[in-house]
Amino acid sequence: AAEGPRPAALTLLGPVPGAPSCPHGPALLFVKSSQGKEEGRRFYACSACRDRKDCNFFQWEDEKVSESRLAAREEYNRHHQPSFTHRQNVDRYKNFVLLPSSKRRFCQECQQLLLPAEWEKHSDHQFLCGITNAQLKSPSQLLYPLENKKTNAQYLFADRSCQFLLNLLTDLGFRRVLSVGTPRLHEMIQSKASQEEEFRVRSLLLDIDFRYSQFYTEDEFCHYNMFNHHFFGGEVARETCRKFLYEENDERVIMVADPPFGGLVEALASSFKKLMAMWKETEKEGHDNKEMPMFWIFPYFFESRILGFFPSFSMMDYQVDYDNHALYKHGKTGRRQSPVRIFTNLTPSMIVLPEEEGYRFCAVCQRYVSSGNHHCDLCNSCTSKDGRRWKHCVLCKKCVKPSWFHCNICNCCTLQKHSCGKTDVGCFVCGKAGHKRSACPSL
């Protein structure tokens, strides 16, 4: 959320009814806090942008906003909406596919498919010519990733991870995938469905990147902000989502979410609970005591935070790789192994991980673990979180990272080089000590 005039510690009070809106939908309510206590005035800030350069919306909760300022704000919000509606984009696409290859252009500066009548207007822009059907079916590769914006943080699944996820979902018998912020998984499902008649899986993409509306119909894509559970298309889009979640013909639904890693966990959890509630409200018999199946893809160091919101979840050992992220990649090109994992409410033993990639089944834990993750008899579990073999500390009564040692002064295990007795306030993003929010590795 937006960097208002705020110090290190900040508490999200959540989405509240009647909150003011910015171009990203209803703002979230925050308060400054110290040692867990609220202090200072509460304020609203943008739900999606943590950097005020991207969205500078800010309003004190108790502030009286004048009529003229409200009108100016509405005008600003309107002005910052996309130039075409989703409906118009769908019609434009229909016209675009009818064009011969020589007349198919894509403006790289405006990130827009161009019809011949618009060429003149974009004449001094860089554009791609001869757009193929294959490119139209892989928009995530045609569009420029908005990775400079923390709001979008568009790191796209590597092919290996995407293929693994899709195979896993089909093996588990899911026929509908609610793809929240996972455009590459969505397009892989779409293109497989158009090529293979017996492939029965369907996907609905919910994403804040409106550029995708140029390639998908209103039944395939909803413009959605996962930080405040806001459907930009209003009740119509909400209904599309609701209808998709209704399991007709016993087509089981699963939600796969891949949020920006710097996003506020509590804001995401709140939205995901609302999507789960939507599934429950479809009134299918047997939903009563169940949760909608879900994969939440996030770095392992958020485990305690995620399990705090979803006690039924557990973390899998599978390392999710990304194409355009230097750190979150397997093998020689990345600086380290990917810290990204799958959190799920499915029974861990059902999640079969590929043995050829170094995963094995632990009969005691009844789940697949990475080969370096050894079972600790004292903890009675496979304890490693990062793929390396962890070691048990008798004094701490738990397993710790191999690079940590027990410090008798601090009375806990920590890195060998550390300042003793220094109670560092944990980072605001991941809760860990030793770094500030702005330098958090999860951003």
Q: What is the CA radius of gyration of the chain?
A: 23
Q: What does the DSSP assignment read for 308-341? A: HH-TT-EE--PPPPBTT-SSS--TTTSSS---EE
Measure Cα distances from 431 to 126, 281, 345, 362 in Å: 44, 34, 23, 30
407 contacts: CB under 8 Å, gap ≥ 6? 413, 414, 418, 420
Q: What residues pair up with 400 in beta bridges, in sequence order?
A: 391
Q: Which helix (H) or strand (E) holds 114?
A: strand 112-114
pTM: 0.87
Rounded to the nearest 5 percent, the helix, strand and coil shares of the chain are 30, 20, 50
Q: Which helix (H) or strand (E) holds 210?
A: none
The residue behind tokens 């822009």 is 125
Nearest to 54 by CA among 149, 144, 145: 149
Interatomic CA distance for residues 280 and 258, integer angstroms: 22
Q: Which helix (H) or strand (E) holds 163?
A: helix 159-171
- Please give the chain's pLDDT, 443 residues, in tens: 444 444 447 789 888 899 999 999 999 999 987 766 777 889 999 999 877 888 989 999 999 999 999 999 999 999 999 989 999 999 999 999 999 999 999 999 999 999 999 999 999 999 999 999 999 999 998 998 765 444 455 678 999 999 999 999 999 999 999 999 999 999 999 999 999 988 999 999 999 999 999 999 999 999 999 999 999 999 999 999 999 999 888 889 999 999 988 888 999 999 999 999 999 988 666 666 689 999 999 999 999 999 999 999 999 999 998 886 545 555 444 345 788 999 999 999 999 999 998 899 999 999 999 988 889 888 889 888 888 889 999 888 899 998 899 998 888 899 888 888 655 455 655 555 555 555 555 44
Nearest to 153 by CA among 242, 28, 4, 260: 260
31 contacts: CB under 8 Å, gap ≥ 6? 10, 11, 13, 38, 39, 40, 41, 42, 43
